[in-house]
Amino acid sequence: GAMVAENIARHVYGYMHDKPKRWRPLVYCWRGGQRSGAFVTWLRMIGWDAHQLAGGYKQFRHHVIDTLQTVVPQLKLRMVCGATGSAKTRVLEALARHGAQVLDLEDLAAHKGSVLGALPDRPQPTQKAFETGIYECVRRFDPSRTVFVEAESRKIGRAHVPDPLIDAMRAAACLCVEAERDARLAFLVRDYAYLGADIPALRSNIERLQGLQSKETIARWHELAALGDMQTLFGELIDLHYDPLYRRSQGGNFAGLSSAPRLHTADLSPDGIDRLAREILATLGTQFAD
């Protein structure tokens, strides 16, 4: 009892000391037992509208897994395919702004998916947190409407796409963004501009390509990184790494790619991406809101 009281006091005078009266905390432990129940009682005595998670985190975790297994196969997924640098994530964001349903896995995983995809200001979530994020999106979708998802591999950084979702993605209908190489290169240089501010991290990522590229190529890429020549570096990454990898993987991973509508663009500026999103919605006959 004394230890429980001490623990409650530590939280109340620490993390909770500045919470407003209208704060509504949800309290849970592994099974939703006496500890979380006692905590809720004390928080209510203080004046907060506290609630206990029935069954604890264990039951919630089972609920997340069950939802992904049952709801995901019912969704009308439409995969957004395209070579690296085709601004697929930005296209998803534009689609969402126009009222489309979007599942942005890279945002949930806090990673862009590529070898250079780690974000400088956002650590990746745990696997369970990643799956909970997917659950939070999935449970809100209208199953009668299309859900746009970027064509991802099974792993996004350290995060694994849950089996029910990756299976549904690979069987889903696709659309393909075919952007010109110069537009892709310009977009990558803009979108990964932060890499120029952390050359050691960039060089560390380049090292991960050992075994996939020759020693001479890796050495040249290290030199380009040290010089801050992102234009040349990303151009070579497109030609020697990303595009060959895309050609090998996409056709085999996504059954609907061969018959997918293809949208060509030479403009991946913000305005160009917005036009591309509108073209996608018009091509598919999807209703959206301005």
Place of tokens 């059954």: 255
Q: Give the Cα separation of 82 and 129 in Å (integer).
A: 28
Contact yes or no for 215/196 (Cβ under 8 A): no
What is the SS3 assignment for 132-175?
HHHHHHHCCCCCCCEEEEECCCCEECCEECCHHHHHHHHHCEEE
Q: Tell me which H or E stretch contains 231.
A: helix 230-237
How far apart, in whole angstroms, are the C-alpha atoms of residue 149 and residue 147?
6
Which helix or strand (DSSP H or E) is residue 102 part of?
A: strand 101-103
d(CA 232, CA 230): 6
Mark whether 29 is an active-site residue.
yes
Q: Tell me which of 29, 137, 174, 176 is the catalytic residue.
A: 29
Both tokens of 22, joined, read 């209208």
Angstrom distance (rounded) from CA 177 to CA 280: 9
Annotated active-site positions, please? Answer: 29
